Amino acid sequence: DAKTTQPPSMDCAEGRAANLPCNHSTISGNEYVYWYRQIHSQGPQYIIHGLKNNETNEMASLIITEDRKSSTLILPHATLRDTAVYYCIVRVAEYSSASKIIFGSGTRLSIRP
């Protein structure tokens, strides 16, 4: 799986958009970008994933650059409950076989009131 690089920490004001960057310059053509987050001592939570098109769901938006070497997770209106460690993970989504997720260091996002 490709290595990702994320800033160790970020902060954002409550109600503002939080933009979390991720570099994955060695990503392969069949690898997806996944985002998970972990709120203190809870199990990691899936947020969103994408291959090359931008994706949006009820939690966040994922913007992937055209060359797929970097991406940005956007939390449109951050709340205090979004304070967590956010992990950007690149991996193959192999149909009909298991594929482990490897967590890197992640970004510790702090939302300030």
Partner 1 sequence: AAGVIQSPRHLIKEKRETATLKCYPIPRHDTVYWYQQGPGQDPQFLISFYEKMQSDKGSIPDRFSAQQFSDYHSELNMSSLELGDSALYFCASSLGGVDYGYTFGSGTRLTVV
The site for partner 1 (CB under 8 A) is made up of: 34, 36, 38, 41-46, 49, 85, 87, 93-106
Cβ-based nearer residue to partner 1, 25 or 46: 46
In eight-state DSSP terms, residue 2 is -
The nearer residue to partner 1, 66 or 94, going by C-beta atoms, is 94
Nearest distance, CB of residue 93 and partner 1, angstroms: 4
The number of angstroms, rounded, from the C-alpha of 27 to the middle of its chain's C-alpha atoms is 15
Q: Residues 6 or more apart from 15 whose CB is under 8 A from it?
A: 77, 78, 79
Residue 39 or 80: the one with the smaller Cβ distance to partner 1 is 39
Cβ–Cβ < 8 Å for 90, 1? yes
- β-pairing, 107-112 vs 9-13, is parallel
Shortest distance (Å) from residue 96 CB to partner 1:
4
> Shortest distance, CB of residue 88 to partner 1, whole angstroms?
12
